[in-house]
């Protein structure tokens, strides 16, 4: 399964798809990216005249790239193109360090910590285009093909 197939099989669509591309992927981790468009709906009220990407959206971006894309790669032999995988976020713990503004490209780097019985736990971090740490933490979820 190649990276384009993984993105096509993701159970998300615009405006809730936060994966533009997967740069590298292996059994040990994934690196991917997303650019936040200036017309994303959540910027309208967050914050007035000073749009900043909400932390929950940054967490979602990290989960989509760092947990779901990696989980789909891990389950590639079980996936069926007609039936999207079922995914449940079971826990997350995030720390945020810098804001992400409209038109900013971020890179998500995820390292597998544990994958057993279809439960995946990853250490994730998000970097801005300058290579500065935006956020980091742990994300866990259950995946079913």
46 is catalytic: yes
- The pTM for the full model equals 0.94
Structure confidence at residue 129 (pLDDT):
95
What are the tens digits of pLDDT across the range 2-45? 899 899 889 899 999 999 999 999 999 999 999 999 999 999 98
Structure confidence at residue 82 (pLDDT):
64
DSSP of 34-87, one letter per residue? EE--TT-GGGGSSSTTS----HHHHHHHHHIIIIIIHHHHHTTTT-BTTBPPEE
What are the tens digits of pLDDT across the range 66-119? 999 999 999 888 876 666 678 888 899 999 999 999 999 999 999 999 999 989
Pairwise pLDDT comparison (140 vs 48), residue with the higher score: 140
Domains, the chain, in order of start with CATH, read 3-144 (3.10.129.10)
pLDDT at 145 over 90: no
Catalytic residue, from 33, 46, 92, 118: name it. 46
Cβ neighbours for 8, distance < 8 A, ≥ 6 positions apart: none
């Amino acid at each position: 399964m190649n990276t384009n197939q993984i993105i096509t099989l993701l159970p998300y669509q615009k405006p809730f798809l936060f994966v533009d591309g997967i740069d590298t992927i292996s059994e040990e981790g994934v690196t991917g990216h997303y650019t936040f468009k200036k017309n994303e709906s959540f910027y309208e009220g967050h914050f007035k005249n000073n749009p900043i990407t909400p932390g929950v959206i940054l967490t979602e971006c990290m989960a989509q790239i760092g947990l779901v894309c990696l989980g789909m790669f891990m389950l590639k032999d079980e996936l069926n193109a007609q039936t999207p995988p079922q995914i449940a976020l079971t826990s997350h713990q995030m720390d945020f360090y810098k804001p992400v503004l409209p038109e900013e490209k971020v890179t998500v780097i995820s390292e597998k910590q544990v994958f057993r019985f279809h439960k995946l736990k990853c250490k994730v971090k998000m970097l801005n285009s300058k290579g500065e740490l935006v956020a980091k933490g742990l994300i866990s979820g259950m995946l079913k093909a």
